[in-house]
Amino acid sequence: MRTVYLNALMLESDNYFSNPNRNLYKIIHSFVEEGIGSGEFKNELDSQELTLLITRCMRGSLYDWFIFGDNFNLIGESQKFIVIVLDGIKRRQLGNGSIV
């Protein structure tokens, strides 16, 4: 799988991984819009910006996987990274009832 991703990164001038028309982007974007619509996410960034942020995190995890090889647990590290990012964009209710 690593070889497939590396070849796609090196050989394609119009990079597949950054294409916003990919199904992955569309799925992430729909989740983000749902989170914004339900008030789960902060509204400082629009859905396109949040989608880009989340997919950038995913690409960063893949990049580290390429660099560190078998010493990198792609699933475990990706889960930790995404949890931290999602925690940063979630709205929170303070003890006094206000939401931030």
Residue 97 counted as domain residue = no
Per-block mean pLDDT, blocks of 10 residues, the chain (100 long): 71 67 90 91 87 87 86 90 87 58
**pLDDT at residue 45, rounded to an integer:** 82
**pLDDT at residue 66, rounded to an integer:** 84
Residue 96 counted as domain residue = no
Beta bridge partners of 41: 90
Residue 99 counted as domain residue = no
- Count of structural domains, the chain: 1
CA 19/CA 42 separation, integer angstroms? 25
3-state secondary structure of 99: strand
**pLDDT at residue 63, rounded to an integer:** 83
**pLDDT at residue 29, rounded to an integer:** 94
Residue 13 counted as domain residue = yes
**pLDDT at residue 99, rounded to an integer:** 58
The residue range of the domain holding 61 is 2-89
